[in-house]
Structure 1
C-alpha cells in the first residue's frame, strides 16, 4: 500500500481542512466535544453543515460549547448528550438512545498520565476510558454506522503509543508497578489497534476507520502531569487547538480519505514507520493485525462480564 499524503501539513487548521466540504445531511458524534481539540473538531464539522452531537461527561460545559458553536457557525443542529466512558451503563445508554444513521464518529475524549485509578470492575482507568469505553460505544453504534452506508470512525491516539505496546498479560497493572505513562501509552496503542481491526471487520458495511496523532496541544488533558515534568516538553513544536483538530477533521470528513482505512496519520498525512530515533511515526506493534484481533476479542470478553 502506498503512503497517503495530502496538501495539508503540521500547521494546517481544521478550517483549512474542512474548506469546500459539504456535510449537509450527515450526522456526527464527537466524544469529549466540550474541551480541547474536541471543540474545534465539532466546530469544523458543524461549519460544513453536519448535525453534531457532543458526547460529554459535563453536560453544562457541553451546552455552553454547543451554544458557542451554533453562534460561530450558524448551524443550530448541535446537540449535547451525556457520556461517561469509564461507566459501562453510560456507554450502553448513549448507544441505545441513538436513533437513525451515524455518518461520523470521532472517538476523541481521553485521560492522560493520571495517578493509578481503577473502575468498579478493577480496570485501570486510562485503559478503561481511552480504549474500552470507546470500543463499547463504537460497537454499540455499529448498526447506526452501517445504516449510514459510508461511515467513518476516527480514533484519536497519540505519539505516546510509542511508550508501550498493549501488555495483554497484565492490562490493568495487577502484577507490575504502575507507571502512568506506560498506562497511557498502552491505551493509545489500543486506539490504533482498534481502528486496524474495525477497518477489517466492518469493511463490508462501508465503514472506514483510521487513527491519528493530533500533535502537541496545550489543553486540560495535561492536568495530571507535574508542571516540572512539562518543562522538558519545550522541544515540541506546539499546535493551537485549531491545528490540533485538523487531522481528526481530515479523517472525519475530507474526500481525500475516501476509501482509506486501517491507517495511522499525523500532521494530516499518513505516518511513516517509527525508527526508534525520534518520538514520531507509528510503531509496528500498533498496526499488527494479530494484536488487533486479539485486543478486539479480549475487549468483547471484558465488556461482556
Structure 2
C-alpha cells in the first residue's frame, strides 16, 4: 500500500447506512445505484433518497425496481426516484443506459454483481463474473464520465469483496479459456479488478474533481449468495463472523459516497466504514491485498478493458 494517513471514522461494522448519512444534505444532487432492487442496493438507494438525492435505480428487473422505488418513496417521502433498465452482462444494455443519461451525475454506486456462478459466458465469450462485476461497470462508469465531470465533486463507489484476496487478475487467461474454471477464483479475480479499476479511475479523473473508491460491504445474506452451497455459506460464517443486516451492509458504500469524512479521498479500499488495513495472510480476516492496489496492474487492466469493450462495440456494429 502507498503511504498515506489511513482514513478512520466514528463508525464501524455495526453502523447502518442511515447512521453514516445522518446530517448529510443531498438536495439537488443526482445518484445512480446499480442493482438497486434487492439486498444492500435497496438500502443504499433508500439512504441516498432519504438525504434528498434524486436517485435512479439501474436494474435488470424493471418491475422489481418500480416496487422498490415505491417502497423508498413511502419510507422517505422522496418522490424523485427513477427506474432504468440495465443488464451489466449485456454491453448493448450498458451503452443504451449511458446514451440515455442526460445532465450531471454526482454519485455513482456500482453495487450490482454476481457471485460464484457456474461457468457462464456472455455472447463475447467473456467469463460472466468478470464481465458483470468489472467490465459492465467499467463500460458504465467510463460512459458516464462526462456526466461525472460535469458535476461538482462527483464520487464513484465500486463494490468489491473480501474475497478479492484469493486471486488477482490473471492477465494471461482472464476468461478461463485455458485454465480450469473455478467459481471462487473467478469471483476473486473480478473483485480484485473492481479495486484496480478504482485505483486507475481515480488517478485518471482526480483532475476532473471525481473521486473513485472501492468498498467491501461485509458478509450479507442476499440474492448474491444464491449460487453458494451450504458448506460455502457455513465456511463464510466461520471466517467472517455474524452476517450484517442489509442496512449495515450498505453503510460503507453510503459513507464513501456521501460523507464529508472522505471528501477528496480516492483510490482506496474501505470496509466496516473505514479505510482497510493491509491484508496479511494468516492474520485476522479483513484488509486489502497488495495485488488489488498495484498501480501497474491497474493501468494494465484499464488498457485491457478498453480493448475488450471496443471489440464488443465493433462486433455489434459489424
Pair in the same fold by TM > 0.5: yes
Q: Which residue of 2 aligns with 1:283?
A: 289
- 1:47-72 Cα deviation digits (max 9, x unpaired): 00000000000000000000000000
Identify unmatched segments of 5+ residues in structure 2. 312-318
CA RMSD, Structure 1 to Structure 2 (Å): 0.7
| Aligned ranges 1:1-305 → 2 under 5 Å | 1-235=4-238, 236-277=241-282, 278-305=284-311
- 1:235-274 Cα deviation digits (max 9, x unpaired): 2221000000000000111111101000000000000000
- 1:135-156 Cα deviation digits (max 9, x unpaired): 0000000000000031000000
Contact 1:103 1:151 in 2 (8 A): yes
In the alignment, the residues of structure 2 paired with residue 234 and residue 273 of structure 1 have an alpha-carbon distance, to the nearest angstrom, of 22
Aligned residues: 305
Of 152-161 and 235-244, the range deviating more from structure 2: 235-244
Identify unmatched segments of 5+ residues in structure 1. none
Task: Tell me by how many angstroms 1:36 deviates.
Answer: 0.5
Task: Tell me by how many angstroms 1:229 deviates.
Answer: 2.7
Contact 1:149 1:205 in 2 (8 A): no
Of 223-232 and 88-97, the range deviating more from structure 2: 223-232
In the alignment, the residues of structure 1 paired with residue 141 and residue 270 of structure 2 have an alpha-carbon distance, to the nearest angstrom, of 20
Matched residue SS, 2:255: helix
Moved over 3 A (4+): none
In the alignment, the residues of structure 2 paired with residue 122 and residue 205 of structure 1 have an alpha-carbon distance, to the nearest angstrom, of 34
Task: Tell me by how many angstroms 1:232 deviates.
Answer: 2.5
- 1:209-237 Cα deviation digits (max 9, x unpaired): 00011000010100011123322233222
In the alignment, the residues of structure 2 paired with residue 26 and residue 150 of structure 1 have an alpha-carbon distance, to the nearest angstrom, of 11
In the alignment, the residues of structure 1 paired with residue 144 and residue 156 of structure 2 have an alpha-carbon distance, to the nearest angstrom, of 11
Task: Tell me by how many angstroms 1:198 deviates.
Answer: 0.6
Matched residue SS, 1:106: strand
Q: Which residue of 1 aligns with 2:314?
A: none
Matched residue SS, 1:232: helix
Q: When the two structures are superposed, what TM-score results if normalisation uses the length of structure 2?
A: 0.95
- 1:56-93 Cα deviation digits (max 9, x unpaired): 00000000000000000000001100000010110000
Contact 1:53 1:81 in 2 (8 A): yes
In the alignment, the residues of structure 1 paired with residue 299 and residue 57 of structure 2 have an alpha-carbon distance, to the nearest angstrom, of 29
Of 44-53 and 231-240, the range deviating more from structure 2: 231-240
